[in-house]
Amino acid sequence: MTPFPPIYLDNNATTRVDPQVVEAMLPYFTEQFGNPSSMHAFGSAVGGALATARKQVQALLGAAHDHEVVFTASGSESDSTAILSALAANPERREIVISAVEHPAVLALCQHLEKQEGYTLHIIPVDRKGRLEIDAYRAALSERVAVVSIMWANNETGTLFPVEPLAEWAKEFDIQFHTDAVQAVGKIALDLKSSAIDMLSLSGHKLHAPKGIGALYVKRGTRFRPLIRGGHQERGRRAGTENAPAIIGLGRAAELALASMHDENTRVRALRDRLETGLTRSIGHCFVTGDPENRLPNTANVAFEYIEGEAILLLLNRSGIAASSGSACTSGSLEPSHVMRAMGIPYTAAHGATRFSLSRETTAEEIDRVLAVMPGIIDQLRRLSPYWNSETGSANQAFEPAYA
Amino acid sequence: MWNYSEQVKDHFFNPRNAGALDDPDGVGEVGSIACGDALKLMIKVDAGEERITDARFQTFGCGSAIASSSALTEMIIGKTIVQALDVTNQDIAGYLGGLPPEKMHCSVMGAEALRAAIANYRGEALAEDDDEDGALVCKCFGITEGLLTRAIRTNGLTQVGEVTDYTKAGGSCATCMDKIELVLADVNAEMVGEGLLEKARAFRYRGRFAGTPEPVRAPAPRPMVTRPAPPRPAAGPPAAGLGMVKTIMLIQAAIEELRPTFQRDGGDVELAEVEGDTVTVQLSGSCVDCSMSSFTLHMVEDKLSQALGRPLKVIPA
């Protein structure tokens, strides 16, 4: 293996739990193990800590009230809860609006609802830079729509959608607006109390809290139907004994994310830009996917033409660098990612799209290390590629195979 | 992360015989960039005893595609052409200590490239639209009936999901599932007749209404359907009452607008026919056999539907 410590640049997949988060959680496994619903002292101590965690998440979201935060077990649970709640609360409305680049937690659910439950699904396309087609979005809105669910930030490219105006437009038809903000929360400043957003989903493990904890923001006054019934927890909106250590961990993680928001949007952004500029300068035939003008500060998705993503990741991994790819082979599917396809990225590049996602733990030395090894990796694979002419350093036009 | 064998990792990280071969005696090219893997195999053949003296490969693809190509070259160097023809995809996978089921198509690609290179050496034409290899079954990945038959026979496949793992056929838009089932049933029946397969294991094709269907692996997620709402009446053209000539003119104009996009990707699209609400288009160049072609068709469908202000169905010629 490599003489360097491993470099983790896959923070949009998951993050390391911050040691301060672990520290905050530990007592709640052993000493403070009570059930917050209990009347005795074991319970009440935990109840107080949960209340603090709720306020910490409220602060990160810029929400008006702490009781607008409902703890769940994951971002996916939050997404499902929000969408199914909106449909149940508006049974006379039979249409759903989403974007073409939603996470499967939204996309697969809504396609299932379309197929099995007979809802009409409007999937709003994006342009080549991954920007939402606003005219198509506005045209899809009507009194027939029960819920709009549009992601805040795309997990593959980091592209931000203008969810605040999108929510305003939805309000003209009294439509409930949900946003899957799993990638945005903790990376960009939010001010939900001043927005028209009714519901927002977040996931703990994307912001240095543990896996298995999420939250759903439900604006006060939003008509809500619980997904999980059977208990008074979360004010009856999500039954089940609270996962106290994880909730407390999420609270602490939210506090830390708020504290490092400036760092994320200055230092981390600069590192991302340095990585991106360095890669596109030193390597030919590659380009940044998504909207460079309007993105998360931590995400760089670069498509390298004429080579395949899994091979890139395997060689990166051997150099001790963890990244991810939208290529078909890495997912076990036979198609490149639906996000790359929706953006119309040509297949010469879609298979070689590689995502580097940074975090506040990323250092300049790590970025330099990636910049040092990447050109060699790309060159090595292009030398193997029949689509590449190493002598001219360009695409090999002569290779046009067909299955015999 | 795939659970690759040590041999696969070794051949991926240290590929043998990679690169171009000067003045090759036979060249086999299979796959496509759209499919996510493609292989060019080049061989040198000693004319006397028809022995393969050198073999080189160039591969676009994942770790197991590169490893399969590397293994293939090692396996065939030193073999006579006749011996090399006996090398199956199973041999390639075995040489590598096995491949994950979803990656078996990489070994099939290797075996097909070998077959193509030998045919090329012998001066046999393996034309792109080779009728001898049977009809094109899977348009998305360009898989013919001949390739399916060989993969089914060599690997003793009896389930549709296995056929997709080994050949990719049906792994994109999944509209060819019915044809795959027919080919699988036919080949299995032949194999039963030849004593190569137990009758109980053979795949049987069942019509839509004939009892419980055979277990069919769920197809890969379908390409995204982008479906903007129809344009508002004020903005769009009249929704109904268009004559046929007007309709065709509108469709033609919309397609002309789309062509530059296709041409940028090295392809093209042309109007072939309009019948009722069904528009047939001719895709050419790199748009054919592209795993995204079904996605592309949806895009065309959206544009044409918008232009006419009513839903249309777009199918390839």
Q: What is the pLDDT of residues B164-191, one digit of tens each?
A: 889 888 887 788 888 899 999 999 999 9
Mean pLDDT check: name the lowest of A59-63, A289-293, B255-259: B255-259
Q: What is the pLDDT of residues A11-37, one digit of tens each?
A: 999 999 999 999 999 999 999 999 998
Of the two residues B32 and B292, the one the predictor is more confident about is B32
Question: What part of B 12-71 touches A (C-beta under 8 Å)?
Answer: 12-13, 15, 18-19, 28-40, 58-63, 65-66
Tell me what pLDDT residue B242 has. 66
What is the value of pTM for the model shown?
0.79
Of the two residues A40 and A330, the one the predictor is more confident about is A40
Residue B22 burial (CB count, 10 A):
8
The confidence band for A398, taking pLDDT boundaries of 50, 70 and 90, is confident
Q: What is the pLDDT of residues B254-276, one digit of tens each?
A: 888 778 777 766 677 888 888 77
Using the beta-carbon criterion (under 8 Å), do A387 and B60 form an inter-chain contact?
A: yes
Inter-chain Cβ pairs, chain A and chain B, closer than 8 A: 163
Mean pLDDT check: name the lowest of A330-339, B13-22, B64-73: A330-339
The confidence band for B234, taking pLDDT boundaries of 50, 70 and 90, is very low
Distance between terminal CA atoms of chain B?
A: 39
Does B136 score more than 70 pLDDT?
A: yes
- Considering only CA atoms, which of A173, A166, A169, A172 is closest in space to residue A150? A166
Q: Is B176 assigned a catalytic role? A: no
Q: Which of the residue ranges A95-109, B213-227, B231-245 has the most confident prediction, judged by mean pLDDT?
A: A95-109
The DSSP element (H or E) to which A71 belongs, if any, is strand A69-72
Looking at the complex, report in whole angstroms how far the Cα of residue B12 sits from the nearest Cα belonging to chain A: 8
Using the beta-carbon criterion (under 8 Å), do A387 and B33 form an inter-chain contact?
A: yes
Does B229 score more than 90 pLDDT?
A: no
The confidence band for B291, taking pLDDT boundaries of 50, 70 and 90, is very low
- Considering only CA atoms, which of A227, A229, A230, A181 is closest in space to residue A206? A181
- ipTM here: 0.86
Q: Mean pLDDT throughout A369-380?
A: 97
Q: Mean pLDDT throughout A396-402?
A: 71
Distance CA B8, CA B95 (A): 9
- Percent of chain A past pLDDT 90, that is, above it, reads 87
Token couple for B34: 């759209």
Q: What is the DSSP letter of A67?
A: G
Tell me what pLDDT residue B223 has. 41
What is the β-pairing status of strands B278-285 and B313-316?
Answer: parallel
A188 touches A265 (CB < 8 A): yes
DSSP assignment of A238-253: S-S---HHHHHHHHHH
Residue A303 burial (CB count, 10 A):
24
Q: Any chain A CB within 8 A of the CB of B236?
A: no
Of the two residues A335 and A36, the one the predictor is more confident about is A36
Q: Any chain A CB within 8 A of the CB of B177?
A: no
Partner residue opposite B112 with nearest CB, options A121, A336, A404: A404
Does B225 score more than 50 pLDDT?
A: no
The confidence band for B209, taking pLDDT boundaries of 50, 70 and 90, is very low
Fill in the amino acid letter for A71.
F
Q: Which of chain A's residues have a Cβ under 8 Å away from the Cβ of B60?
A: 306-308, 384-387
The confidence band for B126, taking pLDDT boundaries of 50, 70 and 90, is low
Report the DSSP beta bridge partners of residue B271. B281
b/e map of B40-62 (b: 16 or more CB within 10 Å)? Answer: bbbbbbeeeebbbebbbbbbbbb
Tell me what pLDDT residue B221 has. 45
